[in-house]
């Protein structure tokens, strides 16, 4: 059995996704529990593990920005451990804290592909991620890890039979929801109280302005939280698990000559703790790079 260089990562991500029953290409949100406010960009379904400052400024709602400024929201998925056989790997210490990203391909950003049950399952919230190109680069650029999981003939996922991408679909934890690991990661155990406090925050902000447009946006957020109730609350405790091997391409492991770039790279991670108001969630997982014999 190969030894692997195990790179652990976690953190909050952003994904401003359309939600059922809205069609996948709905840009503003009409009948799902997510929607774009007047001052925000269109819904883009883009899984952003480390969103840019400009994107955050335009699209992260309060109290997200305040929590970020206070250091209470660790927005951005970063490397948290680098180990071999459970021991810290001294040859790559500079990887700690490096951003972990999913990159776009041929103009397509990484998304949870659903297409209203054509690809994934909206009912079960089980989706493949496409495209899947994982990228890790340390601050100096001396270490760069990159690899794309290729689908047959590099076809768009919606053109392929389900058997071609089944291993790339996120599935529920076998345990009943809500999942304790997710609640511990986001520090939320009472979902009712969480959104009661969110409603109080929004109401307080609404009372501080006389701008009719701002007031309407605050009212819209309050309406969504109240109307979707248990549905939006349940997403906080949800966890979907991905566990597959990145293959079909040659990997890049600059600065890590001991890594086998042709063998498949196992990766396992979960997304969960989704806040349908802020459109943020939590990710945790590990990439396992096989070492040359």
pLDDT, tens only, 139-162: 999 999 999 999 988 888 888 998
- Of 72, 63, 81, 113, nearest to 4 (Cα)? 81
Q: Is the pLDDT of residue 16 over 90?
A: yes
**pTM given for the model:** 0.96
What's the confidence (pLDDT) of residue 189? 98
Q: What is the pLDDT of residues 58-72, one digit of tens each?
A: 999 999 999 999 999
Q: What is the pLDDT of residues 74-108, one digit of tens each?
A: 999 999 999 999 999 987 778 999 999 999 998 89
More confident residue, 167 or 221: 221
What's the confidence (pLDDT) of residue 106? 86
What's the confidence (pLDDT) of residue 88? 93
Mean pLDDT value across the chain: 95
What's the confidence (pLDDT) of residue 110? 97
Rounded CA gap, 244 and 267, in Å?
6
What's the confidence (pLDDT) of residue 90? 82
Owner of token pair 């307080």 = 204
**In the beta sheet, which residues pair with residue 146?**
135, 252
Q: Assess contact for 34 and 18: CB atoms under 8 A.
A: yes
pLDDT band (50, 70, 90) for residue 1:
low
What's the confidence (pLDDT) of residue 227? 97
- What average pLDDT does range 107-128 have in this prediction? 87
Q: Assess contact for 111 and 130: CB atoms under 8 A.
A: yes
Q: Where are the domains of the chain?
A: 4-170+240-290
What's the confidence (pLDDT) of residue 112? 95
What's the confidence (pLDDT) of residue 230? 96
Q: Is the pLDDT of residue 202 over 90?
A: yes
Measured CA to CA in angstroms, residue 122 lies from 22, 24, 99, 164, 281 at distances of 11, 11, 29, 19, 17
């Amino acid at each position: 059995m190969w030894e692997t260089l195990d790179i652990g990562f976690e953190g909050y991500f952003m994904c401003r996704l359309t939600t059922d029953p809205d069609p996948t290409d709905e840009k503003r949100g009409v009948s799902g529990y997510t929607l774009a406010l007047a001052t925000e960009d269109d819904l883009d379904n883009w899984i952003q593990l480390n969103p840019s400052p400009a994107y955050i400024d335009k699209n992260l709602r309060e109290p997200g920005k305040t929590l970020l400024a206070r250091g209470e929201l660790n927005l951005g998925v970063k490397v948290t451990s680098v180990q071999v056989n459970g021991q810290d790997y001294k040859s790559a210490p500079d990887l700690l804290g490096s951003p972990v990203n999913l990159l776009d391909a041929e103009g397509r950003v990484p998304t949870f592909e659903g297409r209203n049950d054509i690809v994934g399952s909206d009912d079960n919230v089980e989706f493949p991620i496409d495209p899947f190109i994982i990228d890790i680069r340390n601050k100096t650029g001396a270490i760069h890890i990159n690899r794309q999981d290729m689908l047959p003939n590099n076809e768009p996922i919606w053109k392929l039979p389900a058997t071609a991408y089944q291993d790339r679909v996120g599935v529920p934890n076998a345990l009943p929801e809500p999942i304790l690991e997710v609640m511990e990661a986001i520090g939320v155990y009472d979902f009712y109280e969480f959104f009661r406090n969110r409603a109080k925050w929004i109401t307080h902000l609404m009372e501080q302005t006389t701008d009719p447009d701002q007031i309407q946006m605050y009212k819209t957020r309050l309406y969504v939280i109240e109307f979707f109730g248990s549905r939006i609350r349940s997403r906080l405790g949800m966890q979907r698990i991905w566990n597959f091997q990145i293959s079909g391409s040659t990997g890049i492991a600059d600065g890590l000559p001991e890594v086998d770039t042709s063998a498949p790279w196992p990766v396992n991670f979960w997304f969960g703790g989704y806040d349908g108001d802020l459109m943020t969630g939590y990710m945790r997982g590990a990439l396992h790079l096989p070492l040359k014999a």
